[in-house]
Each structure stands twice: as structure tokens, then as C-alpha cells.
Chains A and B, each alone.
Chain A
Amino acid sequence: MITFKNSLYATEGFALAINLHVNANQFCAVLGPSGAGKSTLLSLIAGFENLQSGSICLDGIEATQASPSQRPVSMVFQDYNAFGHLDLWTNVALGIAPNLKLDAAQLEAVDKALDSVGIASLARRKPFEISGGELQRVALARILVRNKPILVLDEPFAALDPGLRKDMLQLVLELQKTHRLTVLMVTHQPEEAKKIADKIIFIGDGKVSDAISTAAFFKSTDKAVARYLG
């Protein structure tokens, strides 16, 4: 569950007013024109940016001032989801304990997570030795071990080929279902959103309006939405 109440984020020349409620266990696509603030919304949820006013409630807990590592959130970035000098296994294990002191069950959890995203055989490889698709699987494996109820993804598969992209989306969808995650994913492809998302969050004109059902969104007569969909 994610709730923004009367929230305002502002920097020089940019302002975003947010009133948003997302129920738990939903898959939301975040749509909107370039520069509207899609990434900003995710950064606010993950705690990389802070609000000027208003409040954020995550998973039922007030989190407006919480640091990124205290929040019940995992974020997948478009790039740089792994430390280049550490192997994949270590990259995933850092999701459990920053000091890498793992007990037997945790060691097993890392192996299992790598296995469930299909990269168990690459565990000892370094990020520069694997493909872009495999690299994003590392990020997903780490999400599994971190076991946070909220997952936000910032155009995670934009750089992948169409086929691979479809596979990865399928994988995220499965993860969402089996682990009952609340997912927000930024995408530039309305068609993609139509296929997988329960709800759409549209950002435009400096405002984040509430999540609406996917079917309703694509029938919307709102001018900004119409202009965006073209």
C-alpha cells in the first residue's frame, strides 16, 4: 500500500503535487510525457528525494522522513543495478546484509533467488561478463532476498530487445503474483501497460492523479491523456 497525502515536491523550475493511493498487491504502470516527473515519483517512494510538504505512508507505516534503507521498498533502476567489481552472488547477498555475514538459511536464500530468476549458473561471474538482460535479473534476484512488499521499477527493460523485454515483464508479473507485491513501473509504452497493469498512474501538468483502472484510462477523454496517447 502506498499513500501520498497533500504532498508537494519542488525544486528549481519543477513542481509536482501528489495525491495518490495505491492498494496493496496491485500492478500499476506509471505513464506520462517526458520530464513530467515519473522518475521523481519513484525516487520519492524509495526515499532518494524528499517532499517539501505532505506525507508518505508505505505499507501502513508513516515513512515521510525514513531513509532509503529503512523503507519497505526495493527499486530497480534503468542502469547500474549491480556493483561492477563484485560477482553476481555477492551483489544479491548484499541485499540481505551489508556486512555479508549470512547464516545458513540466508546463504540458501541467495542461491534460491539466483535460481528462480534463472542465473544460478552465473553466480560467480562479474557484471561486465554478462548481458544486459541477465544484469536486470540480478536486480530481480536481490529484490527476492530483500523481501520488501513494495517494488518500483524505473524503465527497467528499456534497453532490451523486444523478445527479451517480454520475458522480463513476464518474470516481474510472476514475482508480483507469487510474492503479493505492490508494483509501480515506469514505462514509455502504453501498449505494454495495457497488457500487464491493473491500474495506471498518469502524471501530467505537475500533478499526480489517483490510480485509475487500465480499461478506464484508455477510454479517458481527458485532454492531457489524449495528447499523450496521440
Chain B
Amino acid sequence: MNKTYSLANKIALAGVAGAILLGVGPLFWFLIERTEANYFLFDRSLFAILLFTLKQAFLSSVISVGLGLAAARAMTRRKFWGKAFLLNLFAVPQSLPAIVAVLGFLSVFGNAGLLPGLINTYGLAGIIMVHVFFNLPLAMRLCLETLNGIAPETFRLSQQLAFSDLQLFRHVEWPVLASSLPRIFALIFLLCAASFIVVLTLGGPSATTLEVAIFQSLRMDFDVGRAFSLSVLQIALSLALIAVAGRALVHGAPRTSGIAAPRTDGRSWVARVFDCGALVVAALFVLPPMFAILVYGLPQIELSFELLKALGFSTLIGGMSAVLTVVLAWSLAKYLTPLNYVMTLSGFIVPPALLATGWFLLARNLSGSLWLAIVLVVALNSLMALPFAVAILSEGFKKMRLGHEELCAQLGLYGWNRFWRIDFPLMKTSTLQAVLLAFVFSLGDLTAVTLLGNLGLVTLPALLHQQMGHYRSQEAAGTALILAGLCFAVAALAQLMRGANDHV
């Protein structure tokens, strides 16, 4: 059947394209106007930055995927006390804001932390540690979904054929992993390469990535030529990774019943030690920062006026951008054509710093009103949260469309009638879930506020960043726990709805 773009889809595409043009356009104009500027200059310092970007992303991805895979295998073939609880704990980092994770990490390994001097917190080691904190659980979850997708009969058959652990891995597990591991790796590599807040807070002059360097060249030196050169590298890198990751970015692994097949392999003590070791090492990366946030934060919770005001701004921005994100995502996710897919990922492809600066240039003549700042932050947040919302909605649409597409076509259900009678009722849960997760994303996001920081908007993550910068560590601990708790609670609510909706 022909799937032409609906009006809503065209508007969404135009909106995203317009936002990008409004960002890149003014900077480009600025560049052309000043012919003496040395634009598109690729000097040695640029390649040093590219090299560091690749290095930290590669190491973070290798550790995350390697440990994540080992931990996922241990989870599928072991039963142990507290397994469900551990799995739930591993789901927490996904909902935590980057700045909270940085604080948690510093509270453990920083100079004033629990284990001072163990590792060099600023620079490569620190950046990798925090990236692994976020992405190891993600890698584990994706590997678990892949492994749980293997039919239970396969394990019964391999038992009958008396496969050894190694043979089982080679004949059963590896074939499914081989197709999904490159995509998981590319996804995590992309997230680490585009990571902004972690590198901004823990990096330094010799430890900086493309995204941060773009921000600094625009903010510190207003060197638009250099920013463009860096952006070209970043965009090329993102596009290459997206090409490798394919649809995995918004589809993930196929969702199965989630009930793993009962397994009888891995009984040798070597396998036991290996699985146990994988889980312990993974837990050491993931649990201490969360533990530190909780322990340091609990005694410091105090609802000051400053905090409530920041919370108010965050909720307002989070709510507005959640609605905008999901309105855009709805029509993009319905039929995920290549064009819709690329536009969905535009927040990953075009460096946000570039967009923010372009918008700022356009808006600076409109005087710095607070509402303008809010609108711009909401727009940037929505663009960055779009892939996450589209991922949830396209999964819902895929499930909903089973068989319905033909019936709707035959009965002539189009446009408003179809939206109101069929799509919306069936997509209610997915939509609400997408709203909640987009809300969590915006609530914890510091990137947009930092990029548009000169507009004087202090959200909860921005307040936390200020408190950390001014060594008000006790207040920071309290703010971090409140922010983390809020994000976790809303994300958990979204997760519960997914479970409740599984029978539809």
C-alpha cells in the first residue's frame, strides 16, 4: 500500500527541519559575512579532539558492552537470591540525569569522597567511569533481551545433544548475539561520543570531545569557523554510527515474553566463578555512585526557596517539552520511513551547541525575556528527547497495526476518524509512557540549559551544577537526591504502565 505523508507528519518534518535551519542558518550567514574568518580549517588540534572523542567512546563502549554481555549471560543462566532486586537496581541509571551521576561518581572517587585517590577523577578515567555507569546497564538490558529471545526449545535441544558450555555459546547464543552486538555497540558508542555534560564537567583542555569543543569555541572565542569544522567531524561520526546501528536506535532488540528459558548449562565451577565475577565487577561500576547519592543526600534534603523555584522551572519546562516531543513523535513514529527516521535523530546528528547558538543569535534582538529562554530550552529539549519518544511510540504502533491497517483501508477510516476511533484509544498507554519518559529526560537535562545558559534560566539540574561549582557540596547532595528521586519515580511509573499494558 502507498504510504503518503499525512499533513501532521509533514508539519512535524517541517518543524524539525525549520528548527535546524534556524540554528545553522544564522551561524552560516555570520561565517559568509566575515570572509576573513578561516572557516573549514582542519588543523592538528581538531584531530586531537577527534582522537580523544573516539578514544573515550571506544573504551567506554568496550567496557560497557563486554561487561554488559557477561552480566547478561550470568543473569539468564543463574538463579540467585536478590536477582530481581539487582535487575531493578541496574535499571535505575537509565533514568538518572548526567549531572547527578557525575556527582555520585565524585562522591565515591573524588578528593572528598569515600575512596579518594583511587582513580584520577578528572580526565579520561573519570569520563569512562561515568559513561560505563550509564551504558553498562543499557548494554546488559539489550543483551538480555537478545538472549531471552532464543526459543526455550533450543536449550532443551542442546541439552539433548549434550552441548558443552562452549558449544552452547557457539551454536546457540553467538548466532543471535552476532547480529545484535554491532548495533548495541554502535548505539552506545554514539551516546558516548555525543555525551556533553559528563565531558564538560569531568574533562579538561586535553580531555575534550567534539561536542564540548564546539560549545567552547562558540562560547569562549566565538570562533564560528572552528565550530563548523568540528561540527562537520561530529556529523560525519554520528552518521557513520547511525548507519551501523541501523534501526536499533529506535527499535532495540525484539521484545519477547521476557520469561527466560530455563537453563541447565554453566554448572562447572569455572563458569560459576566467571558469572559471579562479571556480576560483581558490573555491580562495582553501577551501584556505588547510586549508593553515594542516597547516603549523602538523605540528611541534606531541605526545601529551600531557591530549590523550589528551580523545581518549578524544571517541571514547567519538562511538561512543555514532553508534550511538544510527543506531538512531534506521534506522526514521525507512525510510519518510520527513512526520512522520518533521520529527522527523528537530528538532535543526535546536528550538534545541539550549534543549534543553540544559532537560535540565540536570532533571538538576541528580541531582548532576553525569561519566556523566550523557556521556549528555546523547551525546543532544544524536545529535539534531543525525540528519539526516545519515537522508540516507544513506534513499538506501540507496530503492535497496534497488526491486521488493523487492511481493515482501516477497507472501511475508509482516515484522518480524524481513524485517529479518534482507532489510533488514539489503542495508543493511549504508549503515548502516556512517551510523555512521562520525555518529561524525565527534560527534567534532568542540563545540556539545553547550559547551551542557552546566558538566558538566565536556573532549572533543578542547573542549580545542582551551580552548587557543585561553588563547593556547596552538602546542598548539592540534597538537590541531587531530590532530582534523582523525581526522575526515578516518573520513569518507574512509565515502566509499570508498560507491564500493565502487555495483554493488549
Q: Which residues of A contact B (CB under 8 A)?
A: 46-49, 67-70, 73-75, 77, 79-81, 83-86, 94-95, 98-100
Contacts and interface: CB of A to CB of B under 8 A. Distances in A.
Among B402, B421, B425, B504, find the residue whose CB has the most chain A CB atoms closer than 10 A.
B421
A94 B404 contact: no
Nearest to B413: A98
Interface in B406-447: 406-407, 409-414, 417-418, 421-422, 425-426
Contacts of A84: 426, 504
A80 B418 CA distance: 16
A48 B1 contact: yes
B205 interface: no
B417 A85 contact: no
Nearest to B2: A50
Contacts of A86: 421, 425
Contact of B406 (A68, A83, A85, A94): A68
B421 A69 contact: no
Interface of B: 1, 402-404, 406-407, 409-414, 417-418, 421-422, 425-426, 504
A95 B411 contact: yes
Contacts of B412: 68-70, 98
Contacts of A70: 412
A93 to B, nearest CB: 10
B411 A81 contact: no
Given A68-B412, A69-B411, 18 more contacts: A46-B410, A47-B409, A48-B1, A48-B406, A68-B406, A69-B409, A69-B412, A77-B406, A77-B407, A80-B406, A80-B407, A83-B407, A83-B422, A84-B504, A94-B413, A95-B411, A98-B413, A98-B418
A47 B414 CA distance: 16
A84 B401 CA distance: 11
Given A48-B409, A69-B411, A94 B403 contact: no
Contacts of A98: 411-414, 417-418, 421
A106 to B, nearest CB: 14
A86 B407 CA distance: 13
A127 to B, nearest CB: 12
Contacts of A80: 402-404, 406-407
B207 to A, nearest CB: 50
Contacts of A100: 417, 421
A118 to B, nearest CB: 22
B417 A68 contact: no
A94 B409 contact: no
Contacts of B402: 80
A29 B328 CA distance: 47
A197 B196 CA distance: 69
21 contacts: A46-B406, A47-B410, A48-B1, A48-B409, A68-B406, A69-B412, A75-B406, A80-B406, A83-B422, A83-B426, A85-B425, A85-B504, A86-B421, A86-B425, A95-B411, A98-B412, A98-B413, A98-B417, A98-B418, A100-B417, A100-B421
A94 B410 contact: no
A47 B410 CA distance: 8
Contact of A68 (B403, B409, B422, B504): B409
Closest 6 CB pairs of A and B: A80-B403, A69-B412, A68-B409, A98-B417, A98-B413, A68-B410
Nearest to B415: A98
Contacts of B414: 98
A94 B504 contact: no
A70 B410 CA distance: 8
Contacts of A94: 411, 413, 421
Given A85-B426, A94-B421, A69 B407 contact: no
A13 B302 CA distance: 68
Contacts of B410: 46-47, 68-69, 73-75
B411 A79 contact: no
B407 A81 contact: yes
Contacts of A81: 407
A67 B425 contact: no
Among B403, B406, B410, B411, find the residue whose CB has the most chain A CB atoms closer than 10 A.
B410
Contacts of B413: 94, 98
A70 B407 CA distance: 13
Contacts of B409: 47-48, 67-69
A99 B406 CA distance: 18
A96 B403 CA distance: 20
Nearest to A101: B417
Nearest to A128: B503
A132 to B, nearest CB: 14
Among A75, A86, A99, find the residue whose CB has the most chain B CB atoms closer than 10 A.
A99
A48 to B, nearest CB: 6
